[in-house]
Amino acid sequence: MRVILNWKNNMPFKSILLGSCLLLLTGCSPSGSGGEETKTVKDNGVVNIYSSRHYDTDLRLYSDFTERTGIKVNRIEAKSNALIERLKTEGELSPADLLVTVDAGVFWRAENEGILQPVSSDVLEAKIPAHLRHPDGLWYGLSKRARLIIYNKAAGRPEDVEDYDDMAAPNYKGKVCMRSSGNIYNISLLSSIISNAGEQAATDWAQSMVDNFARKPQSNDTGQIEAVASGICELSLVNSYYLARFAKSNDPEKQKIYSSIGVIFPNQDNRGTHINISGAAVTAHAPNKENAIAFMEYLTSEQAQKYFADGNNEYPVIDQIEATSALKSLGGFKEDKLNVGELGKNQAKAINIYNKVGWQ
């Protein structure tokens, strides 16, 4: 059963009963799987989620959680910015318990709007690496993606390209395709460069990338993959899950495109490849805070991690859990251990740099 409430029409927050249990006042008996247990919390017997995720596999997350705990899951889906604005408008009257969204930069925006509250959980702190969660527990990463260099195989593997900096070398003038500077993925990447190398180095990189553009920035990551495969350009940057979508597709045309693309995990000899997260945060006025924490803890279970990460072909945050075969086919890599919270702190600087160098 899938019910999505339309926030634009200001419809009331209705209960969505997910799972096989008929919920009475006492709820259902929890049933764990894989030897893991999720605690049953009674409160109002519900958890209300505002989510920018829209994947069918997430339905299993909700139904399994209800079966384990007896807690009903209600949700509203919309884009991240719309959800943040809704939480601001609702204020103390908001029914939302959890904000589920993507990119640490988005969580930073939510943090600065004062719509999140810190959470302390031994389960979350033990399972989720420190660099993938807010230092004060305002949000927790629950899956991750990597920002990768792709190249046109027909043009040959560029042996002098190992790091993000190498794409900005003068010999790649007119050979690089990118999406716009306003895209959160590019903002977060430049934010990480600022943290790792400083503002001047980040400015130099952005300026040199602009000098190397084969075309005006446009399209999304899928468009960059298609442009590199067709030879419009030789190099680009894309998130790992976009590549995984092509890798696992049964569409012959997509398989042809994927076979034309080579992949480089950048910065393996130094800081590691830039990563970002999908995650969750408890809202500032959550009426069912304990249920919200229970749901986040459930999302670190082995079964849930597979559902959560597989929904968008992302890497699990729990190292012991394997990625999808499509992601594994890309190869292993060392990731940048910079705390992803830094990506939000440098957003304004990154945007200013992009504007300064004329990256549209």
> Boundaries of CATH 3.40.190.10 in the chain?
7-144+277-324, 145-273+330-357
pLDDT value of residue 319: 86
355: amino acid identity, one letter: N
* Percent residues over pLDDT 90 in the chain: 85
pLDDT value of residue 68: 94
Q: What share of the chain is helix, strand, coil (3-state, %, to 5)?
A: 40, 15, 40
Chain centre to alpha carbon of residue 4: 21
DSSP 231: T
| Calpha distance 330→244 (Å, rounded) | 8
| Calpha distance 62→42 (Å, rounded) | 17
Question: Pick from 198, 193, 206: which is nearest to 273 by CA?
Answer: 193
CATH superfamily ID and name for 145-273+330-357: Periplasmic binding protein-like II (3.40.190.10)
Cα separation values, 224 from 238, 289, 302, Å = 7, 41, 33
| Calpha distance 187→350 (Å, rounded) | 6
pLDDT value of residue 19: 33
CATH architecture of structural domain 7-144+277-324: 3-Layer(aba) Sandwich (3.40)
The ranges of the chain with pLDDT < 50 are 1-43
| Calpha distance 240→329 (Å, rounded) | 11
Cα end-to-end distance, the chain, whole Å? 42
pLDDT value of residue 29: 32
207: number of Cβ within 10 Å: 16
Cα separation values, 168 from 47, 209, 226, Å = 47, 5, 21
Segments of 67-198 assigned E as strands:
72-77, 98-102, 140-152
pLDDT value of residue 57: 85
Q: What is the pTM of this model?
A: 0.86
The alpha carbon dihedral of 247, 253, 256, 261 has a sign of: negative
- Would you say 302 and 61 are in contact if contact means Cβ atoms under 8 Å apart? no
pLDDT value of residue 1: 32
